[in-house]
Amino acid sequence: MAAEDAFAYALSSNQAWAGYKGHQNPDFFPKLASGQSPSIRCSDSRCPETTILGLQPGDVFVHRNIANIISPTDINTSAVIEYAVAHLKVKHVVLCGHSSCGGAAAALSDNRVGGVLDTWLVPLKTVRNAHKEELESITDDKKRAVRIAELNVEAGINVLMANASIQDAIAERGLQVHGTFFDIGTGRIRDLGLGTGKGGHGVSGINGDSDIVRGKHAMLVFRNDGAGSMQAL
């Protein structure tokens, strides 16, 4: 598969996975969206990258943190970006926000979380203040949380696009940067059309240049020269 098709193919595989899981168990995504209580907690245990993209271990180099915040002063994030872009030579950098985000809910609240988390969430609070009028006009709490999470992705993409390693890779070898959003309630990823891409690969885009073949026990997604499969679990 051509390198430039990898991002589109991953989104197509996500649509296949979400459709299959929803058909297999209609309560799977609604239950997932209601909350998380894993034995071992990570940034958000409901967003396993390779699973939701229909990919394999080794296909996605991942950095996670609370609330998907990209801070230019966070040396951890900067180190991951530099290693992925300058040394691993990744072709795509994807920043993915998600629904039912505890960080988004905390940023929308005037209450303190406590400890270092209040400091960590300052960039997201800043996003809230910058879009205060728009966010306050949204009366539904869940929709407001989704919107600030989307705005947070946009803010993060702006930071990524100003990163020296990313700028060099864009100029020298055509690195692509994408902003996306994962809806835990449906299992589907939307391309927000941010970064270097033109967008259009979300739920609607899959029908334009992909074919989905549904069988009794599996689903195949065909895109250009590649095909991915979701086998029965």
Decide if 44 is catalytic.
Answer: yes
Is 183 one of the annotated active-site residues of the chain?
A: no
Indicate which residue of 46, 147, 190, 201 is catalytic.
Answer: 46
Residues at the binding site for Zn(2+) are 42, 44, 98, 101
> Given 92, 98, 188, 190, which residue is catalytic?
98
Terminal-residue alpha carbon distance, the chain: 26
144 among known catalytic residues: no
Out of 47, 96, 101, 201, pick the active-site residue.
101
Output the known binding site.
Answer: 42, 44, 98, 101
* Residue 101 annotated among the catalytic residues of the structure: yes
Torsion, Cα of 18, 41, 61, 102 (10° steps) = 70
Given the residues 42, 112, 141, 168, the one annotated as active site:
42
In this structure, the dihedral spanned by the alpha carbons of residues 189, 47, 3 and 82, taken in order and rounded to 10 degrees, is 120
- Per DSSP bridges, beta strands 188-195 and 92-98 are unpaired
In the set 44, 47, 128, 223, the catalytic residue is 44
How far is the C-alpha of 164 from the C-alpha of 16, rounded, in Å?
A: 36
Q: How far is CA 44 from CA 66, 68, 118, in A?
A: 8, 10, 18
Catalytic residues: 42, 44, 46, 98, 101
